[in-house]
């Protein structure tokens, strides 16, 4: 009887459990603007502004800010972070497309000729997860 209760009531809750990703963003240079975080869940969508799985922001604070993203299903994700210092809601770039605002990624680093790939930044979430990112 207990096994039947587990499989009919509790198992579906476990399968759809939601997690919190706590993102610690270090080296924020000023209190101006917002720190924006985008979560991507696939290589195809990575770094596409139109295909962000989930996004959030927090007021910039010199030094470190912590942003919590809740209700994230278990899976593989990659993060992109930028400091929208002028508060215009977008990542400012020069005429070559190189960011003028500070950008960082989960695990991966900006390369000489562009951003890292999804697989370089990806991490697994199976429970609440903390990650530290240096801007």
Q: What is the DSSP string of 18-43?
A: EEEEEEEEEEE--SSSEEEEEEE-ST
Measured at the CA of 53, the angle between CA 51 and CA 57, to 5 degrees, comes to: 105
* Window from 24-28, 48-52, 64-68, 107-111 with minimum mean pLDDT: 107-111
pTM: 0.83
**Do residues 45 and 20 lie in contact, with contact meaning Cβ atoms separated by under 8 Å?**
no
Q: In the prediction, which pLDDT does 122 show?
A: 96
Q: Which pair of tokens denotes residue 130?
A: 């903390």
């Amino acid at each position: 009887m207990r096994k039947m209760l587990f499989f009919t009531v509790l198992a579906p809750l476990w399968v759809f459990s939601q997690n919190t990703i706590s993102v610690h963003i270090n080296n924020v240079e000023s209190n101006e603007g917002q720190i924006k975080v985008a979560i991507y869940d696939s290589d195809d969508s990575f770094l596409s502004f139109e295909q962000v799985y989930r996004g959030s922001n927090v007021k910039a604070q010199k030094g470190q800010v912590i942003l919590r993203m809740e209700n994230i299903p278990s899976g593989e994700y990659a993060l992109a972070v930028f400091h929208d210092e002028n508060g215009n809601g977008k990542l400012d770039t020069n005429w070559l497309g190189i960011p003028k605002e500070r950008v960082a990624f989960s695990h991966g680093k900006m390369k000489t000729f562009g951003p890292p790939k999804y697989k370089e930044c990806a991490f697994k979430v199976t429970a609440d997860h903390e990650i530290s990112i240096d801007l």
